[in-house]
Structure formats: structure tokens, C-alpha cells
Amino acid sequence: MTDYMDTAEYMDLNKVLLLDRYKNFTILDEPVVFCEWQKDNNIDLVQLHSLQDCGGDIIGFCGIFEWKNNELKPLDGDSYSKYTEVYGYSWFFRDDKKCLDILVKAW
């Protein structure tokens, strides 16, 4: 059985930066594993954005979690892997909370 994520088509990262919503994201030279990249860094809110191509756009927002003490806690009832590969990111603050948007292919 083929996993849906294995057959999905993803937008080129350079094209993602042309989309207004993602123009201020930092694109990484190589993907990094989330839990290694953010080890020992507490983040109040991490929002995942799927790079899956959706006819000239990307699917975008697809989940949300908290990262505290090197543990991932879903905030929307879904499940996520702390081993998710991150392709790009953007930091922001909301109500004095440190937040991070990440670009991913699978979660």
C-alpha cells in the first residue's frame, strides 16, 4: 500500500516564497528534523504549513502544537511527529507568546 504523502506533489520552495503569505519565511538549504533543530527551545505555538501543491498555491495551515521541554503537545486533537522535517520557517509573537510557523511535507 502506498502512503498518500509518498505520492503527493509539492511546490518548489522558490515558488513558495512568491506566495504573499510565505514571502517572509526563511527557506533552509537542507531540511532539518524539528526535535533536533529546536532541542531545549520552548515554543508556545508551532503552526505547520503543508508544502503540498494545490494548483498554484500550497495547502498551507495543517496543524498546531506546543513544544515544551523537548516534548510535543498537539493543541488541536491531532497527532504530529517531533521528527517532522522542516523546510522553512518564520518566527512571530502573539499575545507575548513565542510562535513559529514551519513549512513541512509530512507531519
Q: What pLDDT, in 10s, does the model give residues 32-64?
A: 999 999 999 999 999 999 988 878 777 888 999
Tell me the pLDDT band of 4, cut-offs 50, 70 and 90: very low
Predicted confidence at residue 8, as pLDDT, reads 58
Query: Would you put residue 16 in left (φ > 0), alpha (ψ -120 to 50) or beta?
Result: alpha
CB 10 within 8 A of CB 22: no
Q: Give the Cα separation of 79 and 65 in Å (integer).
A: 9
The single residue listed with the C-alpha cell 494548483 is: 55
Residue 1 has pLDDT above 50, yes or no: no
Which pTM value belongs to this model? 0.85
Domain count, the chain: 1
Predicted confidence at residue 56, as pLDDT, reads 76
Domain with 79, as residue range(s), is: 4-104
The single residue listed with the C-alpha cell 503569505 is: 21
